[in-house]
Amino acid sequence: MHKRFLVTVLALAITASSGCAQLGLNKKQAGTVIGGVAGAVAGAFIGKGNGKIVAVLLTSTIGAFIGNKIGSMLDDQDKQALALRTQEALNSSASNSTQPVSWTSAHSGASAKIEQGKEFTQSKTVEVKRAPKVTAVPSMKLINEQYVTNSSSNVRAAPNKGAEKVGGLQPGTEFTAVGSTGDWILVGRKGVTVGYISKSLVSPKSEAAANNLKSVNLDEMNVAADKETKAFDLDSIPSLPTQQVVAETSCRPVTVSLKAADGNTEQEQNTFCKQANGTWELI
């Protein structure tokens, strides 16, 4: 049976100063983790100004991710914290993924080392939502990372220069690159593909940050107020087509070495593959 790493949105809030500390995470780490799963779970976000982490907790099914042996050596609070730390490690870029990540419980004294093996690719069928005018593609390479436009950029209904223009993005617009097909990037807004943009016009956010390029997030923009972005207003679309796409996705082997509070040790080895919604599935 396939085991899945599941994240659930719950109707409660925990503060970065108290709730995250109890999970063994500092404010920066928590922000990274929640940012990584926000595209996959509705309502997950970092509260601006007061630093609150809103409505995100892991369910008890996280025990399946950690494994029966390791799970039996931790309480529920430590299971959640270790799972969050592992998700944070998986959200790191491929170039940084080989660096070991440590975790220490804030209350029990348990600790762990999370090590990732060399990333590899695997083809699988994934489900992708798209705006009605956007043409489906038979295959793609999953990305699910933040990209930024380098200049004024046309967004088209299909991955070619002759396709209908469905909208446009100003320089410095940040969006989720769902995937790529040939020389084109699938532009995502709130988990939905809203068009295609040429690779030559965009850069990964990490590169844009290095160049001190300020950006605005497409998910947070009032797209209905501008004719260039009006087509990206998902609230005005009654239904969204869903397609099955053969995707080349990234997979990573992960080894978690645990030292429990009582000094006993255990090790768990698993493999995760990135999904179309940005989460990592345990296979």
Could you tell me the two tokens for 270?
């698993």
Radius of gyration of the chain, Cα coordinates, nearest whole angstrom? 20
Answer yes or no: is pLDDT of 224 > 60. yes
Q: How many other β-carbons are positioned within 10 Å of the β-carbon of residue 204?
A: 15
What is the tens place of the pLDDT at every residue in 6-44? 333 322 223 333 344 443 444 333 333 333 333 333 333
What is the tens place of the pLDDT at every residue in 36-75? 333 333 333 333 332 222 223 333 333 455 666 787 888 8
Share the mean pLDDT of the chain.
Answer: 77
The stretch 226-239 carries a mean pLDDT of 94
What is the tens place of the pLDDT at every residue in 77-105? 898 888 888 888 888 877 777 789 999 99
Answer yes or no: is pLDDT of 220 > 80. yes
Highest-scoring range by mean pLDDT, 140-149, 164-173, 214-223: 164-173
Q: Given this model, what pLDDT does residue 44 score?
A: 33
DSSP string, 221-258: S-GGGSTTTGGG-GGG-S---EEEEEEEEEEEEEEEEE
Q: How far is CA 231 from CA 144, 150, 169, 237, 262, in A?
A: 21, 21, 11, 9, 58
Could you tell me the two tokens for 96?
């940084």
Domains of the chain: 8-120+247-282 (no CATH), 138-236 (2.30.30.40)
